[in-house]
Structure 1
Amino acid sequence: MPTASRAADRGAVTVEAALALAAFVVVLAMALAGIVAVSDQLRCTDAAREAARLVARGEAEKAREAVDAIAPGGASLDVRWDGDRIRVHVAAEPVTGLLPGVRVSAEAFAVAEPGVTAAGDGAR
Structure 2
Amino acid sequence: MKTSFDSVSPRARMLLALTLVLGLAALAPLGGASAASVARGLLGAAALGGLGWWLVRRGRAEHRFSLTERMRVVSRTGLSQRCGLALVEVDGSRYLVAFGDSFAEVRRVHTPVRCEKETGS
TM-score w.r.t. the length of structure 1 is 0.30
Higher-helix-fraction structure: 1
- Give the structure with higher Rg (CA): 2
* Higher RCO (CA 8 Å, separation ≥ 6 residues): 1
Higher-strand-fraction structure: 2
TM-score w.r.t. the length of structure 2 is 0.31
